[in-house]
Amino acid sequence: MRAPKGMLDVLPPESSRWIDVVTRFASRAERFGYGLLLTPIVEHYEVFARVGETTDVVRKEMYDFVDRGGRRLALRPEGTAPVVRAFVQHRPATPWKVWYLAPNFRAEQPQAGRYRQHWQLGAEVIGIDDPDVDVEMIELLWGFCADLGLRNVRLLVNSMGDAESRTRYRDVLIDYWRAHAALIGGEMERADANPLRILDSKRPDWADMLERAPQLGEYLSDESAAHFARVQEGLQSLGISFEIAPRLVRGFDYYTSTVFELASGALDVAQNAIGGGGRYDRLAQEMGGPPAPSIGFGSGIERLLLACDAEGVLPAAVARLDAFVVDPGGSVDTVHLLAELRESGLAADRAYGNRPMKKQMAAADKAGARWAVILFEREAGRGMVVVRDLRSEDGAQQEVPRAEIAAWLRMRKDEAPS
């Protein structure tokens, strides 16, 4: 049996990097005043239907199904709609600042950096329209990537304006697409339904047409332009370098105003987004809640790690055991001693199944343990254990009182942390 196509298992020691990535994100998010939000992996179909009527992620790639009770449910394809659903349901005080870690499911054609299950770390601030929050969001993602050691990263920002700006722009854009109907061909229906979606196409034969397309920036209302200017000012004040990407419109129907993406220069262009997000000022209302302008981002853990690989940062941590308990006689004190060592904060392990001493020592070496603590019957009778330094050439060993062994090991660990 194999895992479903496009879905990955993460085994140790690779999984140690996941602990690292998640811990760094959690610590940063908590420092910024965000709390962890956990939502179900499935939602009612309608929760997502609203965010992506014109997007492939919802129309073609969503895993939706009818459950045993006849309810239509969907596996989460993205993280924002569930957060807004939870906000509308629970009505917490605003601004509501949350972060999350969750798997997402999209039935895409799998390739390196594009999977059918991917994990996102994300953050959202619900219920406040302040450009300084946009800056803080970007700062959170930017700083997190820096924490991981990533350097080859470009920040792209754009403004999709308010409803008024977008309506004016849509009309101009539809005219422009119609003038290029021959080239657009079968996609014309989509161009009419959501003219912005065509803008972020990566089709090489459209590159020229897209290059010359009218730009949203020219149609921003005064209010939208002022908001976007303040975002840029904030980023500059933090020394975060960015590029304005006039055709960055992002893939979901909910986006308004500021949008942004982090592109890794170390990854293949088709899958180089290691994070992205933006404002969605009307989604809460569209989902039946109060007006709650909001912003957030999601960042794919698999892609972050591919970028780390490409840049040679954040290697998998090699598990380091402090001690390996070896007991040739198979006494029950092994159980007790091991518990004692672990409770005192040492990383300790043993072999199981009453194996001969030689095999136990080989297991200690294989586990990369620093010390072997050997329970010989004779020494045990005198209240002593034998400690062997597994990193010394000549296998130097000495006796240590059984009662003091945990403290003895702790002292050496603290002296020379491995």
With CB under 6 A as the contact rule, the residue among 17, 85, 106, 197 that binds ligand HAM is 106
Which CB atom, from 81 or from 363, has the smaller least distance to ligand HAM?
Answer: 81
Give me the sheet containing 323-326, strands edge to edge: 348-350, 323-326, 371-374, 384-389, 397-401
Nearest CB to ligand HAM, comparing residues 234 and 278: 278
Query: Among 28, 37, 42, 124, which residue sits at the site for ligand HAM (rule: CB under 6 A)?
Result: 124
Select 81 or 367, whichever has its Cβ closest to ligand HAM: 81
- Chain positions 55 to 94 lying near ligand HAM, rule: CB under 6 A, are 78-80
CB 104 within 8 A of CB 77: yes
Which of 45, 37, 86, 39 lies closest to 63 in space, CA to CA? Answer: 45
For residue 33, give both structure tokens. Answer: 């005043």
Q: Determine the residue with CB nearest ligand HAM.
A: 300
By CB under 6 A, residue 52 contacts ligand HAM: no
Q: Nearer to ligand HAM by C-beta: 84 or 406? A: 84
Cα 137 to Cα 145: distance, rounded to the nearest angstrom? 13
Site string for ligand HAM, 212-251 (x = CB under 6 A): ---------------------------------------x
Residue 108 interacts with ligand HAM (CB under 6 A): yes or no: yes
Using CA atoms, how far residue 305 sits from 10, 17, 79, 109, in Å, is 12, 8, 20, 20
Name the residue nearer to ligand HAM (CB basis): 123 or 390: 123
Exposed, middle or buried by CB within 10 Å (0-12, 13-18, 19+), for 288?
exposed
| CA–CA distances in Å: residue 111 to residues 130, 267, 412 | 38, 13, 47
Which sign does the torsion angle of CA 284, 196, 272, 232 carry? negative
Task: Specify the residue, 122 or 161, whose C-beta has the smaller distance to ligand HAM.
Answer: 122
Among 187, 168, 175, which residue's Cα sits nearest to residue 213? 175
Which backbone phi and psi does 63 adopt, to 5 degrees?
-90, 95
Residues within window 248-307 making contact with ligand HAM, judged by CB under 6 A:
251, 273-278, 296-300, 302-303
Q: Closest distance between ligand HAM and the C-beta of residue 219, in Å?
A: 23
Inter-residue contact 279 to 249 (CB < 8 Å): no
Number of residues that bind ligand HAM (CB under 6 A): 26
Nearer to ligand HAM by Cβ, of 142 and 324: the residue is: 142
Catalog residues that contact ligand HAM under the rule CB under 6 A: 78-80, 106, 108, 113-115, 118, 120, 122, 124, 251, 273-278, 296-300, 302-303
